[in-house]
Amino acid sequence: MERGLAANTLASYRRDLRRYMGFLVQRGRVEPTDIVESDVTAFLRSLREGDDEFPALSPSSAARTVVAVRGLHRFLCREGITDVDPAGAVRPPTPPRRLPKAIPVDQVERLLSAASVGDGPRVLRDRALLELLYGCGARISEAVGLDRDDIDLESGTVVLRGKGGKTRIVPIGTYACAAVQAYTVRGRPALVAAGAGTPALFLNARGGRLSRQSAWTVLRTAAERAGLGATVSPHTLRHSFATHLLDGGADVRVVQELLGHASVTTTQVYTLVTVDHLREVYAAAHPRARG
């Protein structure tokens, strides 16, 4: 409530803390004041090693779980339930720095074309959804959370609600505007007629708000039709949006604002991708790049 976290984040923290509670019970810790630093470090070790009940976690998943545990103990101290924080000195494992996976512009175009196969309201919706995801770099959760009033086709802007309840206004291109226009005029009325009425922009076949899972299915189906297979994930279009902007000369801080990143450090990982691209172009084009 205080941090304005998304429902999916809260669900993940809830699972993490339930696992932590089970671990503590096995060690005979029944009161918050019983927990010591060695319990927290042992829990972290168990996350990385796994056991008969739980598989070993990756560094990134283990780090998220430790963050939840540290948050719990900070809360207990702040509320006066405990006097010391046994997790304060326990650092989450550092996940390896992974480059975001983007696809080339021609593959994006194949993906978007594949979403237009067929006819009917859902085809118009699917094309509009994918055009919007790539056109403004929205997260899937942000896209399915849109209401009709959040998008202004006349000015070519959309209001996105990101992590922590933060909102940002992002421009969208003519292709995305045209796809959303076609959907709202010719597709959405047929879908909304099947339900009880909702302000949601993207609707399912029953007239309700499209879910994240259904949006992922839309993306996966289009990717399979385009012959892209497993290379495309829910975040691929967002990553491609950022990478293509930087390849086109956009400033990293502008891209930061468009993506809704709290820190430019998060956005700078995309510059590593573009440097690799520049290196490839240099090696192929410069007469003295290779011997």
Q: CATH number of the domain at 185, please.
A: 1.10.443.10
**pLDDT tens, position by position, 9-36:** 888 899 999 999 999 999 999 899 999 9
* 237 inside domain: no
Segment 160-217, tens digit of pLDDT: 988 777 889 999 989 999 999 999 999 999 999 988 889 999 999 999 999 999 999 9
Q: What are the residue numbers of the active site?
A: 139, 163, 235, 238, 261, 270
Q: What is the domain extent for residue 192? A: 105-231
pLDDT (0 to 100) of residue 7: 80
Least confident among 19-28, 133-142, 227-236: 227-236
Which tens digit of pLDDT belongs to each residue from 25-83?
999 998 999 999 999 999 999 998 888 788 888 888 888 899 999 999 999 999 999 99
72 and 112: one domain? no
Q: How far lies 221's CA from each of 115, 123, 130, 184, 198, in Å?
A: 8, 12, 12, 22, 26
Share of the chain above pLDDT 90, in %: 53
Mapped onto helix, strand or coil, the DSSP state of residue 151 is strand
Between CA 166 and CA 168 the distance in angstroms is 7
Which residues does 54 contact at the CB level (< 8 Å), separation at least 6?
Answer: 19, 46, 47
Indicate whether this model's pTM tops 0.85.
Answer: no
Q: Does any domain span residue 271?
A: no
| One domain, residues 70 and 137 | no
First CA to last CA distance, the chain: 60
